[in-house]
Structure 1
């Protein structure tokens, strides 16, 4: 299965936040969109970084409540891994596992067209396994 198929099923919306937005604003965006990570972008096109719930929790431990007024750019991951719509889900799963990445922006011709999470990848693999199991059961009983 290709990443484009996952995006077709889940949608291609990309939630972004400006690098100078506060962590407090980030929390509001994460909650409002019910997502675990947001792409950091000044123009909704280019990628400055990515920031997740995990980034907030790790920094809260060391910075305390003052972190809430800090800019998102101070906690984001600047080196963002990305993928393409034609990438294979199995290959992407291995890459996400190897690099311990939970969210990847999907780029087509340098433009963001979606975000894939490890949950999306696992869900697609489970769906493929269920389809294969059903085919085997039909074969055995048929």
Structure 2
């Protein structure tokens, strides 16, 4: 079965959040592409900027039509006089116009699953990430030939589903290290008084041994927990919200309302799924939604499209603070008045 790794475009052109709109327009024209991902200094995706984002979302900003591209090129032509919003638009940066959060896929995501995502989220392309960083782009054009090929080979639906959901599992078990048994040493004859009155240094050695062993156990637990969180982040980046899953969540929300509850936690995820480790969520910073990745980003987009117009709210909050840092984060659907 073909995956994102097989069909993606690997020569990815990206921009930073503070890249001016004019520079993005030049880049799209020069490279012959219709969109670019927006990344931070570490290469983590923040959003996507397409031709549609640059041209605006209302009729006034689309007055100039195709000519707008020529007007953006430095020194070639003045801005269209009938476009009063143009000066404001040209002063924007990628951060101002990008679409966020980003729907992304892993390298092992199947082609049919990518096609489903493009349809579900009404988008034309998805970045492919490895360890959170973009390594490719899959567009609708990349998918067409592969999808036709899959139809010709009559790939079974079962095989398709199993392979697209295959995720690496974490072996959370670990063995505590034990010190090798020391060979018994010959002991000199001791008096009764020496046996009854041990040295304080011996007790200190016992304490040191206990603390060493406890430290090793704590470190092993931290390493196992960190590995588990990394695996969870990897899984959630490559896990997508199907229509069936979304309908199930809405059913659970309705049942919660029947019980008199005012909200439902749609998703619990490690703070590492956020590009900033959960900092924006923790301080309720405006634009926290742009830091979401993977399943959390898709959940936000589903809410924004399907539920926000009907009065539902969506909030995120840090649920725990291991070692004083943001741990797991909850994404909550709210329909009633709640204590903030």
**What SS is found at the alignment partner of 1:114?**
strand
Normalising by structure 2, report the TM-score: 0.36
Change (3 A) 1:13 1:53: same
Distance 2:48 2:57 in 1: 15
TM-superposed CA distance for 1:61, in Å, is 4.1
Match of 2:30 in 1: 32
Match of 1:125 in 2: 147
**What SS is found at the alignment partner of 2:48?**
strand
Q: Is the 8 A contact 2:28 2:35 kept in 1?
A: yes
TM-superposed CA distance for 1:88, in Å, is 0.6
Instruction: Give the superposed CA RMSD.
Output: 2.0
Normalising by structure 1, report the TM-score: 0.80
Distance 1:43 1:103 in 2: 22
Larger of the two Rg values belongs to structure:
2
**What SS is found at the alignment partner of 2:17?**
coil
Q: Deviations over 1:14-46 (max 9, x none)?
A: 111111111110001111111111011232611
Select the structure with the greater relative contact order (CA < 8 A; seq sep ≥ 6): 1
Match of 2:334 in 1: none
Change (3 A) 1:36 1:123: farther
Q: Is the 8 A contact 1:4 1:86 kept in 2?
A: yes
**What SS is found at the alignment partner of 2:56?**
helix
The total of aligned residue pairs comes to 129
- Which 5+ residue runs of structure 1 have no aligned equivalent? 134-142
Of 3, 14, 17 in structure 1, the residue corresponding to residue 15 of structure 2 is 17
Q: Deviations over 1:64-100 (max 9, x none)?
A: 3221221111110120000011011011101110110
TM-superposed CA distance for 1:5, in Å, is 0.8
Distance 1:55 1:118 in 2: 18
